Chains A and B, each alone.
Chain A
Amino acid sequence: MIEARELTKRYGDKTVVDRLSFTVKPGEVTGFLGPNGAGKSTTMRMVLGLDAPTAGTVTVNGRAYAGHGAPLHEIGALLEAKSVHPGRSAVGHLTALAQTHGIARKRVDEVIELAGLGSVAHKRVGAFSLGMGQRLGIAAALLGDPEVVMLDEPVNGLDPEGVLWIRNLLADLAAEGRAVLLSSHLMSETAQIADHLVIIGRGRLLADTTVADFVRESGAGAVKVASDEAAKLQALLAGPDVAVTASNETELLVSGLDARAIGQVALRHGVPLHELTPLGASLEEAFMDLTTDELEYRSAPADGRSAR
């Protein structure tokens, strides 16, 4: 469990993290979202005691990080992709970390296998691709078999297979009862992995909610349904909180019901479907609406006029 209370970090007169309070609970994946420069990485460094908060506190499993006798057993973290000496091998790096906690060499081999780095375990890390560097960082995070796992932009640089691997890995970790914190600047991607969302902008908390609530409140989460019996299905789906619009005679756009519920209705009434797609794009829009006013680095439109 991670508990941040009124956590604040200022550099000179610039406030990077501003009275931020949130909790990362065991048994679920918490998505930590915000645009670039929102203060996600700074917050994560404060969790590990690498940066000292200007004000406020953050604890890991009830204690300040440095107060733990074996911190790698409490929380494992992936910060920047390559916080490893490029001249060292993956085995060398992980062995040195393991030795600080008396962790057996067997565990080093285990996490190397887990991360899929078996074939490059003895190669210099400097020759690793971005994705391999991420995998090594995740191996390091899991080394101490921690109760809390905290990953800063773990899918950066991973190929689709790697993204899927991370998604399953995080779901497994949460299912084992661990607390998982995962930062990202992509809403659609995070919504697929996370149960809970902590959204920040310019260091301030913008939303602390579940993914389901965020989806419902944002009005996003519409589902595209295609069927030869679209008109029949439209009538079947109609309800008080459900809006169904027909884009043409075979396609419907449904909001207020998730894909699962729509599928069940269709099955019950024998309506064949040939497409059932939750739309992520509008979720991304809702996230952007929420954070637009808080953007640290805003891009100007190409024609030079101001954005809003």
Chain B
Amino acid sequence: MTIALERPAEGGNKTRTPVKPVRFRRVLLSETTKFRTIRSTWICLALGLVLLGLFGSIGAFTYDGAGVTDGPPGISGRPLDAVSLALMGLSFASLVVGVFGVLSTAGEYSTGTIRSTLAAVPKRLPVLWAKAILAGGAVFAISAVGVFAAFLIGSVGLDGEAISLSFTDDGVLRALFGAALYLGLVAVFGVALGALLRSPAGGIAALVSILLILPGLAMLLPDSWYDALNPYFPSNAGGAVYALTETSDRLSPGAGIAVFAGWVAVTLAAAAFRLKKTDV
């Protein structure tokens, strides 16, 4: 080991800027800064929060027990409960948080930022993991706040109605936390789709198709196939975790979230493969 000699002052005493090796925690910090410093992050998260809180509360306050004896047409004929009212905004919110996830990765390609990013982190994969953790974590936290707020505010509106529930009732906490977990995973799904397709438009189209259109298209399948496959579609499997009651045409909450997490994991693995193997 030789001792580094200070070069005599030619343009002032030049000491080199201290630089540390790239580590996962530093990539995580860097990605946090990236999320923090673009407006779409705040817009998407705020919109997700508002959709969950507002739609959920409005659903409860406009609920009229007398009008739904024949079963509400919207919620596939299932009996309405306080939890599903509190989750009225969930479909919309899932699109918003999914788009948030897509933009966090696909946006890097459409703007060219990816070249700066991967020049700084040439191992590449830590960037994807960091984005998945941050997007999933942030959306889970925001969603938990949103659905609990909707349920609490909603319980005031439903006071005295037959369907009124409290946190201590069976399945309520599980369904509410499940909804937040589902939305967090949808954000990770978006991150993976954006990284896989490298285009915001493509990523968003894929997200909407898979979550919303695929289950509808599946109706074209023969009945026996449909019955067998339907519970395993991403949004249906995920839906099992935030439904208050278990039914025979759905997976159990645990199995449902596991299947949805499986879809997300497979997509993320494909995204990781493409990120690692192909030119940018």
Contacts and interface: CB of A to CB of B under 8 A. Distances in A.
A206 interface: no
A97 interface: yes
Contact of B37 (A80, A88, A104): A88
Contacts of A144: 17, 19
A187 to B, nearest CB: 27
B34 A70 contact: no
Interface stretch (B115-123, B146-154, B168-176, B189-197): B115-123
Nearest to A47: B119
Interface of B: 10-11, 14, 16-22, 26-27, 29-31, 33-34, 36-40, 107-108, 111-116, 118-123, 279-280
A51 B118 CA distance: 11
Interface stretch (A71-79, A228-236, A292-300): A71-79
Interface in A71-105: 71-73, 77, 79-80, 82-89, 92-93, 95-97, 99-104
Q: Which 10 A-B pairs have the closest CB atoms?
A: A92-B37, A102-B20, A69-B21, A145-B17, A66-B122, A83-B112, A99-B30, A73-B19, A51-B279, A96-B33
Contact of A50 (B18, B33, B279): B279
Given A72-B19, A176-B11, A85 B38 contact: yes
A138 to B, nearest CB: 13
B106 to A, nearest CB: 12
A102 B121 CA distance: 12
B30 A97 contact: yes
Contacts of A92: 33-34, 36-38
A70 B22 contact: yes
Interface string A170-212: 0010011000000000000000000000000000000000000
A101 B112 contact: no
A89 B34 CA distance: 10
A167 interface: no
Interface residues on A, range: 35 or more
Nearest to B130: A100
A80 B116 CA distance: 10
A172 B22 contact: no
A92 B32 CA distance: 11
Contacts of B30: 96-97, 99-100
Contact of B26 (A68, A80, A101, A107): A101
Nearest to B27: A100
Contacts of A50: 115, 118-119, 279-280
Contact of B19 (A70, A93, A96, A172): A70
Contacts of B10: 175
Contacts of A102: 18-20, 26
A80 B115 contact: yes
A151 interface: no
B122 A101 contact: no
Contacts of B36: 92
A80 B112 contact: yes
A48 interface: yes
A52 B278 CA distance: 8
Contacts of B18: 102-104
Contact of A70 (B21, B38, B115): B21
Interface of A: 45, 48-52, 65-66, 68-73, 77, 79-80, 82-89, 92-93, 95-97, 99-104, 107, 140, 144-145, 172, 175-176
A84 B116 CA distance: 7
Contacts of A93: 37, 113, 116
Contacts of B19: 70, 72-73, 101-103, 144-145
Nearest to A73: B19
Contacts of A100: 22, 26-27, 30, 120-121
Contacts of A87: 38-40
Contacts of B115: 45, 48, 50, 79-80, 83
A197 B38 CA distance: 41
A80 B115 CA distance: 9
6 contacts: A48-B115, A48-B118, A65-B122, A84-B111, A95-B37, A96-B37
A100 B34 CA distance: 11
A172 B11 CA distance: 9
Contacts of B123: 66
A86 B116 contact: no
A123 B116 CA distance: 19
Given A86-B111, A96-B30, A100-B30, A77 B119 contact: yes
Interface centre among B11, B14, B279 (most CB of A within 10 A): B279
Interface centre among B107, B113, B123 (most CB of A within 10 A): B113
Contact of A97 (B16, B21, B120, B279): B120
A83 B115 CA distance: 6
